[in-house]
Amino acid sequence: MDEKKKLINWTAGISTVIVALLIIIVVMEPRGNGVSRAAASRAIALTLAGEDAVRAEGPETSFFPGELQDQWYVKYMDYLYAKGYLDPETCYPSEGSAVSAVTYGELSGWVTAAKGEGEPSLAGYVTEAAGKKAGKAVDKAEFWEFYDAFRAFADPDGNVKEIETDLYGTPGNVDGASPWTAYTKDGKFLFEGLSLDSYIDKTIKLLVREDGIIKVQGVVSDEIVYENAWISGFSGNTVTVFIGNIQREFPVRGVLKNEEEISGQIGDLYLKNGKPSRLVLKKETITGTVLSVREDEIEIEGYGTVPLSEDFKIYRTYGVLKEQKKSDILVGYHMQTFVVAGDEICAALTTEKPEIDNIRVLLMTTNFKSLFHPEITLVCDSMAVLEYGDEKDKKTQSVAAGEPVTISAGDSRLESGRMVFRSANEGGMITVRNIERSQGTPVYPGHMEITGEEEGLLLLNEVDLEEYLKRVVPSEMPYTYELEALKAQAVCARTYAWRQIRGSSYSEYGAHVDDSTSFQVYNNTSVFDTTDAAVNETFGQMAAYDGEPIDALYYSTSCGHGTDGTVWGNDGSATPYLKAVSINEKRKPMDLTSNEAFGAFIKNMDVEAYDSEFAMFRWNAKTDSQILAEKIGGVGQITGLTVTERGPGGAAKALKVVGTEGSKTFTGQSKVRSVLGNTRLVFNRKDGSTYTEWETLPSGFIYIENQGTDENGVTAFTIYGGGYGHGAGMSQNGAQGMAKKGKNYKEILKFFYDGCEIVDIGDVV
C-alpha cells in the first residue's frame, strides 16, 4: 500500500483524538515552558524516519547559512523543510528560530502535512482553528500530548519504541565523551536537544528510534545496581568502577579499608539517589580451556557446563581496559578467568592476548552433506586413548594401534558430555572410516572430540593451525602450481582461518569452522611437498590492513576484471583493500557498469589478464524460457532477460525477468546466478571444452542476448560470461599467472589486496 493510501485509511478513532486534542490546545493558554522548535522538529522527524533517512532525504543544500550547518538541529529542521512540515518563509532557518518555542500553527501544519490530501475537512478545520493563535507558543505538556497522538498515526509500524534502561553517564560526567552521547546498559544513544544529567544513576523509560532518544518518559527507580562491574581502582574513599566502557568514580567511605581488598575485582555496586549504599565483591574464580560457548552457558575443561548469569559481563584487562562481547571468548583457548557466584559465571576476564596456534574443525559427512553423523569409527596408527565421563568420574580407555573405536548415536558414554580420542604418541594420525573424501578415506593429525546432539553425532578435529593449512592449501589450489602462488594461497588461508577462529561461527558446538566450502576445504586431498613448503616458508604470516587481518577472500578465475566489497550488497567500507581493477599489469579500473560496455568486454576473447589462458576465463551457455521457468514463476511465458544494474567491474547486481503476465526483478549476484543456473545447461569454455551439472552460473560477470522466440513460443537466450567465483579478492589462477611471470607471493598479495602488509600472527592483537 503506498503512503497516500495509508494516510487516507487513517482511522476515524485517531481522527477524533487529534481533533479533540487540537481543540484543547487551541482554546487554552500555555501553562508552562514551551518546547524549542529544534527539539520538536527532532521528535517529529525521528517519528517519520530513521536517522539515516533524515540525512538522506533532506535537501541537497541546507536551508541554513553555512556558519550554522554543524548545529545538531539543522538536519532535522532541513528534513521538515524538505518534506513540507516547516515553511522557510514563515519559519526562517536561523538559530533564533531553532531555539524559539514551537507554535500551535506549526502543530496544525504538521497534521496537514502528515495527512496529505486525505481527510480534507479535518485539515481545513485544523488550519482554520489554529489560525486564531497560530503564533502562540505551545505548553510543554500539551506538546507531548499532541506528540503521542501524532505518533499514533504517523508511525503505525511502531518504529518509535519505549525502552527501560539504566543511565550510566553523559558528557557531563564522562571525560572525553562524544557530544550528546548517553551511556546506558543497552548501549550508546544520542539525546540531542534534551537534558539527561539529572537522570544519571537511575532506571528510566525512554522513547527511542534506533539509537536516538526522543523523550524521557519518566523515572522507574532511583535505586540501581551496577552488576558485575569491574573495580579498576581504589584510592582513599573513592572507588573507580568500569561500567559500559566508561570509568566512573564513587565515594565508598567505610565500605572497604584498603586498595588490596578491592582493586582488580568484580563487584555489584548498589546506589540510591546516585549515592553508593553497598559494594559486594565476587572473588571466586575458575580457569580452564573453553570447550563451547552457548546462549546461556559455557563449557570449561575441568568444570563441565556452567550457566551464565543474566547480567554476564566480559572485560579485557590487559592493554587498554575495555568491555568485550561473548563472541570474544574463543573456544579451544585458555585466556579467560571466569568469576563465579551462586554456581553461575557472572563475568569473564580476558587476562592475556590470545596466542592463535590451534583450530577446531567440524568434520562433515561424505560429500559434505551434513555436520551430523549417525555413527563414527576412528582408528589411530599408534597407541591411543579414549576419554569420557563427567568431571568427577573421568574414565580413560587405552586403545591399541589399528584397533577401531565405533561410537553410535545414543552411546551411553556420551551421556556425561564429550568424548576425546587422541594418540598416546606425538605425531599419531587418526583415520575416520565413516568419511570418504576425494583422496579416499581421510587421515587427520591432532585429536578428535565427539558430542551427541539431537540431530546426531558431531565430530571435531582440533589440530595445529599450520598442520591444518597443509591440508587446506592443496584442497583449495592444485599442488602443481608455482610455489609463489601456493605461498600466496597459504597466507590467504592462514589469514582467513585466523578471522574464523576469532569469529566464533560454531562456538555453540565448540568449533571454529567446518571442513567444507562454507569455510575452507580441509583434507579433501592428500598433502604434498610443494604445498607443505608453501606453508612452511610463510610460517605464521598473515595479510593485514591498518594492523588488522584482512578478509582474505579468494576465488578461482577472473573475467579480466575484479570487483570490490560491494559484491554482497554492503557499502564496501569495511574492505577498502578490495578494489575493482583489471587483472593485468595495468591494474586500472574500467567502467563496465553499462550493458553495452560490459557486453563488448565479456565477448572479447583477447582481453589481456593474468588468468586469460585458463578455460573459465570466458564461457557461454544457452538457455530458454522453459528451462528458466523451472526456477522463475509468476510472470507467464518468459520473453525477456535484462541485467538492470551492475556493480564495479560489471558483476550483475539486478536481473529483470519479463513475461507475458508481468515481470520480476532479482537482486544480488548470488541470486542472479542461482535463478539463471540449471544443471541442464552446457557451458562452452574458452579452451573448447564443455561442462554441465552446475546448479548455478559460474560467476555473476554475465551479458545476456535474446535469440528470439520460436513457433512454440519458446524464447532462447545466450549467456556470455567470464570467470569462476565471486570476483572479489585474489584470483587463484591470476596468482598462478603472476607467479609464472616472476612475481613473488608478497607482490601477488599486494596486487589483489590493495595497501595490505604481510605481518606475523604473533603481532596481531
Contact 389, 416 (CB under 8 A): yes
pLDDT at 709 over 80: yes
Average confidence (pLDDT) over 515-530: 95
> Per-residue pLDDT averaged across 211-219, rounded?
95
pLDDT above 50 for 10: no
Q: Which pLDDT belongs to residue 375?
A: 97
Mean pLDDT within 472-499: 97
Listed in sequence order, the residues at least 6 apart from 710 whose beta carbon sits closer than 8 Å to its beta carbon are 716
CB neighbours of residue 560 within 10 Å: 28
Percentage of the chain with pLDDT > 70? Answer: 92
Return the higher-pLDDT residue of 729 and 258.
729
Q: Which of 300-304, 418-422, 729-733 shows the lowest mean pLDDT across its residues? A: 300-304
How many C-beta atoms surround the C-beta of residue 276 within 10 A? 18
* pLDDT at residue number 256: 55
Pairing of strands 513-514, 358-362: parallel
Chain centroid offset of residue 17 CA = 42
735 near 748, Cβ under 8 Å? Answer: yes
Checking if the pLDDT of 125 tops 60, the result is no
| Lowest-pLDDT range of 96-110, 203-217, 510-524 | 96-110
State the pLDDT at residue 253: 66
CB atoms inside a 10 Å sphere around CB 265: 18
Residues 743/745/747/750 CA torsion (nearest 10 deg): 150
What pLDDT does residue 128 have? 44
Between CA 200 and CA 183 the distance in angstroms is 9
Question: Which pLDDT band holds residue 123 (cuts at 50, 70, 90)?
Answer: very low
d(CA 665, CA 663): 7
Cell, residue 127: 488550519
Give the span between the Cα atoms of 725 and 613, in whole angstroms: 17
Query: Counting Cβ atoms within 10 Å, is residue 311 exposed (0-12), middle (13-18) or buried (19+)?
Result: middle
> What is the architecture, at CATH level 2, of domain 223-282?
Beta Barrel (2.40)
Mean pLDDT of 556-585: 94
Asked whether residue 392 carries a pLDDT value surpassing 80, the answer given is no
Rg (C-alpha) for the chain, rounded Å, is: 32
Which value, to the nearest 10 degrees, does the dihedral of the CA atoms of residues 474, 478, 483, 489 take?
Answer: -60
* Mean pLDDT across the chain: 90
Does the pLDDT of residue 20 top 60, yes or no? no
Q: In Å, how far from its chain's centre is CA 70?
A: 31
Query: What would the mean pLDDT of 625-633 be, rounded to a whole number?
Result: 96
Tell me what pLDDT residue 568 has: 84
**Residue-wise pLDDT tens digits, 133-181:** 677 888 898 889 888 888 887 888 999 999 999 999 999 988 888 899 9
pLDDT mean over 4-10: 41
Assess whether pLDDT exceeds 60 at residue 1.
Answer: no
Number of Cβ within 10 Å of residue 606's Cβ equals 6
What DSSP string describes 747-765?
HHHHHHSTT-EEEEGGG--
Q: What is the model's pLDDT at position 8?
A: 39
Average pLDDT over residues 537-555: 96
Query: Quick one: average pLDDT of 525-552?
Result: 96
Judge whether residue 599 has pLDDT over 50. yes
Confidence of residue 442 (pLDDT cuts 50, 70, 90): very high
Top mean-pLDDT range of 11-25, 99-113, 547-561: 547-561
Query: pLDDT band at 5, cuts 50/70/90?
Result: very low
